[in-house]
Amino acid sequence: MRLLLVEDDAMIGEAVRKGMRQEGFVVDWVRDAGAAEHALRAEPYDLLLLDLGLPGKSGLDLLEELRGRGENLPVLILTARDAVADRVQGLDRGADDYLVKPFDLDELAARIRALLRRREGRARPQIVHGALVLDPATHGAVFDGRELTFSGREFALLQALLEQPGAVLSRARLEERLYGWGEEVESNAVEVHVHHLRKKLGADFIRTVRGVGYMVPKAP
Ligand code: CA
């Protein structure tokens, strides 16, 4: 899952980026609304973490513009302003949730998972596909009653494919989901992750659609 963090405070930004990376999210960080607009046009994000007090255009104005043009990605507001009016305004202008600074990184990660779950229309915290059960909170997995372990990127790749069973995702699209800015992508990285996943889940779990990409067939 790839997050865009908009935060002008260096210490908070660094802490959130580091903490959410440890939780297995891909995090790109920008410091103002203009850079956020560029990033949102360039990359497919799953969620926006938005500080309200930004230099130049405010987070609230950015949010209103995004919603005005029909952008529907989940938005979680991070704000030092703990006045009730600001929270109400943020939610009414289209935010999905908020946290008041200072906040706990574990709580932030849990709220992000809850929003992503809701976006996927999933009430259950685990992702279930046939004999496979994935837990995004712990990155644990059980397949046919056996516990499996996946690397962070293997887990992310599997999660991306399982969001839309039957849909084919190109290698480029998967790379975008797995790697943030400044992270080096080996040219065959996706193939290598798929190879490892097939060793754990069986050769047929992930199908190659020649010349197009990869998919997990719908569960029977
Ligand atoms: Ca700020």
Q: What is the pLDDT along the chain (220 residues), one digit of tens a residue?
A: 999 999 999 999 999 999 999 999 999 999 999 999 999 999 999 999 999 999 999 999 999 999 999 999 999 999 886 678 888 899 999 999 999 999 999 999 999 999 999 998 888 999 999 999 999 999 999 999 999 999 999 999 999 999 999 999 999 999 999 999 988 888 899 999 999 999 999 999 999 999 999 999 998 7
Element (H, E) at 195: helix 189-201
Report the distance separating Cα 135 and Cα 124, nearest Å.
10
Q: How far is the CA of 4 from the centre of ligand 1 (A)?
A: 15
Pairing of strands 97-100, 47-51: unpaired
- CATH architecture of the region 127-215: Orthogonal Bundle (1.10)
Residue 182, Ramachandran bin (φ over 0: left; ψ between -120 and 50: alpha; else beta): left
149 is written with which tokens? 């372990």
Q: How far is the CA of 214 from the centre of ligand 1 (A)?
A: 40
* Cα-based distances in Å from 89 to 77, 86, 117, 159: 11, 5, 24, 33
Give Dmax (Cα) for the chain.
55
Please write the tens of the pLDDT for every residue from 18-37.
999 999 999 999 999 999 99
Q: How far is the CA of 79 from the centre of ligand 1 (A)?
A: 7
Q: How far is the CA of 6 from the centre of ligand 1 (A)?
A: 9
Domain ranges of the chain: 2-120, 127-215
Are 187 and 220 in contact, with CB atoms under 8 Å apart?
no
Q: How far is the CA of 37 from the centre of ligand 1 (A)?
A: 17
Please write the tens of the pLDDT for every residue from 117-144.
999 888 899 999 999 999 999 999 999 9
Q: What is the pLDDT of residue 81?
A: 67
Percent share of the chain, pLDDT over 70: 99
Angle between helices 105-119 and 10-22 (to 10 degrees): 60
Are 127 and 133 in contact, with CB atoms under 8 Å apart?
yes
Q: What is the pLDDT of residue 87?
A: 85
Angle between helices 171-178 and 189-201 (to 10 degrees): 90
Please write the tens of the pLDDT for every residue from 180-193.
998 888 889 999 99
Q: How far is the CA of 63 from the centre of ligand 1 (A)?
A: 15
Q: What is the pLDDT of residue 82?
A: 65
CATH for the stretch 2-120? 3.40.50.2300
* Cα-based distances in Å from 25 to 22, 104, 146: 7, 16, 25
